[in-house]
Amino acid sequence: MALDLAALTEDLLSSPEVARQRCGVQLQNGATLRAWESASERGVHLARIYSVRADHVRRIALPVLDVEEAVFSFQDHADEAISLVAVDGDDGYRYSLFVSAADGQVVACIGTPAHN
């Protein structure tokens, strides 16, 4: 999967979602981006996994950004193959970008507190 970094960053920065905006800023500032070429899951599978995680992080009050929004996005893209892109920020968060394997468009972004 080839990603257009400039277009990806612009897309993230223009989003109303906090995790996407913050991830876009990190990419703009030169953050490390790692994409897994062979790893992709269907949106329906990711929705099941992340709905459980959303409940868990809510119960333990972990400040994860936009996990609920991601679940809705996965449900909206249930039949699509979605690939993972990781962005290590310097703002105390690590970002999981989920992009359509078909067209490289961002489906969801989750920000998780970094534990260094």
pLDDT tens for the chain, residues 1 to 116: 567 889 999 999 999 999 999 999 999 999 988 887 666 788 999 999 999 999 999 999 999 999 999 999 999 999 999 999 999 989 999 999 999 988 888 999 999 998 75
The whole-angstrom separation of Cα 103 and Cα 32 is 22
Q: What is the predicted pLDDT for the residue at 51?
A: 94
Q: Residues 27-31: contacts with CB within 8 Å, 24+ apart?
A: 27/87, 29/90, 31/87, 31/88, 31/89, 31/90
Q: Residue 51 corresponds to which tokens in the numbers above?
A: 């709905």
What residues pair up with 96 in beta bridges, in sequence order?
A: 86, 110
